[in-house]
Structure 1
């Protein structure tokens, strides 16, 4: 299934609060939360000027799978699913079954989303990343199953605390 077909499949089947996984060919994933109307909320590139955009473009040419991560600044954004920057060969999935927690009720997820939208945060692969954000919205607990050597489905208390302070 090509990228556009995957996007259409997600839009046709996803519900608000579903975890959307952008599975990259190198074995890690970018995560977001489905927000309805074909949109996802996720850790995205922070606001930047022309010079920084050119620099990021150069980085992505050399490191196509992680150029965004190398600069370290993110902004929680709502974007159309089809416009999220992913490498060739990425697969988009609804991945609600990768974590063992019970989802929060929709009004609580919406409140977290509303309070975190447009916040700028430093990106840290081990301590504050896109999967931490997405699972916090859905479960109220920041979890990342991609970190080597970390117990799967274990709440990352520091990340949870960071998000909790922003929504309190």
Structure 2
């Protein structure tokens, strides 16, 4: 009986979480940073695939160039499973993912998950992390999700993914 109660409690946990943040009345405008790692961010258009995903995404998505890197920023105000790892996106686009590892971010403010995406005649070095409003950083999307859902991480959150040719 105790085990059954524990399973029911775990199953209902997401429903007992604090209510999702309400989007402000003025819409979902996000002020993106002007630079990344000392490089100015130049806006890029979302691809057709990214536009279809963004239409269903519970937040905002923007792409930029920063020197030799492409930078994708995703902004969310509530925990969501749609903020998934970049490796999933690259796999879905036909890339082979290899050499997954953690490394220190260039700004020294935490770890990021990096991997090599090979496909379509190119090898890309992709790195990503999620940061919350308090500056706490996550290199694992699942760890971020459960921390955000339980109130251990406060939003809004920004996911940062970078890609550059090897």
Is TM more than 0.5 here? no
Between structure 1 and structure 2, the one with the greater Rg is 2
> Would you tell me which structure has more strand in proportion to its own residues?
2
Q: Which has the higher contact order (CA 8 A, sep 6+)?
A: 1
Name the one with the larger helix percent. Answer: 1
TM-score calculated relative to the size of structure 2: 0.26
After TM superposition, the score normalised by the length of structure 1 is 0.26
